Structure 1
């Protein structure tokens, strides 16, 4: 049972931990507001204070609204849909096939709208791919100009649809376009009429352009130690993100969702929130369903979603059976997930479990290469004894050791066996085997790695230049000439290309570059990838190529 003391603890502590420039927090139970707090500034230069009516981008939380709209249209079709006189589900599947490149369905005709809703499509995320297309961190990505060329360059898969989970913004951008074409209306208007207004979200609106947000709130990059600067963001989002909403709007959303859940089981939220879906085998649970992530907070089932764009972080989470909801909105880039985890822990009056300290075997430390994805896995000591940090899927993950050779997180189990690292990523339904990389002077000092490389499929050129052991990389593509960044040697013929800032935030991170050699030992090309965009194949060119030649 939630106590007033636990509510006060969260309302008092969270703003201190995530102080600036500003933020907003709300706690609900059974659809009723138990407490809220706003703090700091919407605009530090103009000294405009944050308040419950201040609108901020809710980023990827938008995705569940898209699913709500999709399911409402299937249950209550528009006149245009009814007039076609064909199966409603078939209308969406047909438009999906018209929207994506034909090569996709030639390879996997089973790809469906449901795969997109559940992040099981297997497509690469364009947010990461923009780096390969020559995007600059402050560059533009406009709905009218850049999205259609992006889709023509989206032709292949990272895995077969339905077999794994991988976060992909392409899924929800495409869902937005499919909805518009089937329903015969603009996405923002459909959302307003069918989802936002019924929920009582009076000021929420689909606002694709991050460069021209309605204000007065501004998003900030930086930290308290480095200082905050106004974030420059020239992305447009319509489906994968795009909604702006106030804390008051989000409170109305939580109240609406609680009411839907209580009315269940026939409405969209009761169906999506009651239990996870499965992967294609029909038995393995899949934690992402209709724009909602299923997780457990100290044994309590919760559903929700986080959001991240440059300058903004957001998170909403609901424990349906306990009736508890927590909303956190920030106009800076603090890690908002732990904030919500802390809130649930305090509200549920749970303490972090104590685990015995287990010293790891020395074999853990090092860099490994996943044989399937061709991505580097790095393992290093954690900040506490008995912990290791595994870097693989775009962010550091802390392993708690259960014995010297085994470790785990809530969603991962790992073991080390000599020079082979075995990892079961439960959430993604992926089991990987990675071999240890060994430093080889012959590769580190190989000047023939430099040159120009091209990926025909995604229409990207990579320039690798520098001296032996000190290499740099840069991309040319339909978005322009990308920022040059340093390459670091890892081992064998494997390097990483750093990507500390992308077109939006968070950035793709390090790209793994695995060079390929022919029978004569000459470099023929490489396989490049990051967690959101894996196994992109480049071929070395015999002569130089420039942007104007693409």
Structure 2
């Protein structure tokens, strides 16, 4: 496509969004080595009428992770750290459960460790957690999701720990390493690390959530570093993608995009913080990012030689979705297939993780949002999600199965039944308390509290849907010893009735 056609297509698309007078987004598109074509729409924030420009930086959330992984691999190539060493060795700390976790496990989301950010927001809502507190909690944990290297589970804490390991290669801070090893060599003048939203520069776009007929300011309540702390412009992200593909003759990029083999068989398309997969039959390499009220996506299509970078400060505009829609208009992606008319239907539990899956006709209902399910050639139905990867559901021998990251697991169908009156009660795990009454669940801790509506998905099983803007859905199950709570990133958190001990 000619540059003038790309520019026209982008301008028409941005106009069609109708957010010129609201928080909006910024886009950069580049083919090969050509200069990126940039476009923007909207304002810097809900109370800031200044327009977004191509030089406006945004929070990019987890798109930061690829910078952390690249820094680690560059340092490893110079012999300054070992990806196969224990994370505890790199930290100079001891831990009951982290001793077997390698740095590579942290950078490929195969560590099995608990996601402290997820637990904090789920139980305390938008209250402040320092980076040091998150690390302290990770080191003090006595349980994990699974044995390191055996499965995939998207995880923020692993990247926070990796940031500290990188920092301790010294001299200087993690921010210094990023700046000297990556940002300056790649020419990224508008990319920087800001761990705390309170310190964002004035020219940075501020994230927002819907509020009545308008938008309200949103902010990320915890400190974030290598898991999601960068701000950047889409134009810088395009430069970064080009530099990363070329540095060390492409060796770092190839290593980052190689699939991750799992010890129990199968492989994850999630490499070292880059996902190499086929979407609608087209190969792409990407990593999205999300913060409260904002999102980002950086995607490279090898066959088309096209890079698309999108950053949004409007909680109703999903950057990954925008990037896909632009790829369609640029004739890189074919139109999305229609929803499936076949496949299993019902509410299911994956027993080893405690995760609940509500399968509807043509949709995976996660209760905070739905993902379309499309038919595959083998008769199964599949969905794509940044946090779950590509997952498929099918039937075999009368049983329903889940396929994810090259591994197949049978699902248990939840038997039908009303909300059990015996579910009401008070439960505790460490410093977190759960109070359930009828169809309401309150979770409280010394630093804050959150409220969830409980929707029955079968006998002794509920979907917990947050009443706040933090989209953390959970599955709650009644057990013989209390209740078990599983989010997408923290599995089988056991809470015991108050009065029986912890």
Scaled by the length of structure 1, the TM-score of the pair is 0.81
Give the match for residue 329 of structure 1: 311
What are the ranges of 5 or more consecutive residues in structure 2 without an aligned counterpart? Answer: 385-389
Residues 35-184 of structure 1 mapped to structure 2, 5 A cutoff: 35-76=37-78, 93=87, 95-96=89-90, 98-99=92-93, 101-105=95-99, 109=100, 111-131=101-121, 134-137=123-126, 139-144=127-132, 146-184=133-171
CA shift digits 1:192-246 (9 cap, x unpaired)? 1111000001132111001331123343433498421111332210110111122
2:477 corresponds, among 514, 526, 548, to 514
For residues 32 and 227 of structure 1, the distance between their equivalents in structure 2, rounded to whole angstroms, comes to: 38
3-state DSSP of counterpart to 1:32: coil
Range that drifts further, 482-491 or 13-22: 13-22
For residues 33 and 23 of structure 2, the distance between their equivalents in structure 1, rounded to whole angstroms, comes to: 29
Give the match for residue 266 of structure 2: 284
Give the match for residue 489 of structure 2: 532
Residues 351-430 of structure 1 mapped to structure 2, 5 A cutoff: 351-352=334-335, 359-360=341-342, 364-381=344-361, 388-391=362-365, 395-401=369-375, 406-409=380-383, 411-416=390-395, 420-425=399-404, 427=405, 429-430=407-408
User: Are 2:204 and 1:217 equivalent residues in the alignment?
Assistant: yes
2:328 corresponds, among 330, 345, 354, to 345
CA shift digits 1:146-203 (9 cap, x unpaired)? 3244224433221222222111001100000111123342011111111100000113
CA shift digits 1:338-376 (9 cap, x unpaired)? 221222233345532766x87448xx4432222222222
For residues 394 and 83 of structure 2, the distance between their equivalents in structure 1, rounded to whole angstroms, comes to: 44
CA shift digits 1:302-325 (9 cap, x unpaired)? 212111101221111112454210
1:272 corresponds, among 256, 261, 268, to 256
1:43 and 1:49 in contact (8 A); partners too = no
Cα separation, partners in 2 of 1:367 and 1:304, compared to 1, 3 Å:
same
3-state DSSP of counterpart to 1:33: coil
1:195 corresponds, among 182, 189, 203, to 182
Question: 1:88 Cα shift?
Answer: 5.1
1:57 and 1:242 in contact (8 A); partners too = yes
For residues 333 and 420 of structure 2, the distance between their equivalents in structure 1, rounded to whole angstroms, comes to: 54
CA shift digits 1:368-424 (9 cap, x unpaired)? 22222222221223xxxxxx1123597522222469984334633322579853221
For residues 131 and 495 of structure 1, the distance between their equivalents in structure 2, rounded to whole angstroms, comes to: 19
For residues 313 and 209 of structure 1, the distance between their equivalents in structure 2, rounded to whole angstroms, comes to: 17
User: Are 2:221 and 1:234 equivalent residues in the alignment?
Assistant: yes
Question: 1:253 Cα shift?
Answer: 1.4
Give the match for residue 486 of structure 1: 453
What are the ranges of 5 or more consecutive residues in structure 1 without an aligned counterpart? Answer: 82-86, 382-387, 518-523
2:246 corresponds, among 228, 243, 259, to 259
Question: 1:335 Cα shift?
Answer: 1.8
Question: 1:68 Cα shift?
Answer: 1.4
For residues 52 and 211 of structure 1, the distance between their equivalents in structure 2, rounded to whole angstroms, comes to: 23
Scaled by the length of structure 2, the TM-score of the pair is 0.88
Give the match for residue 17 of structure 1: 17
**Aligned-pair RMSD on alpha carbons?**
3.1
CA shift digits 1:437-456 (9 cap, x unpaired)? 3114xxx352x433322224
1:278 and 1:286 in contact (8 A); partners too = yes
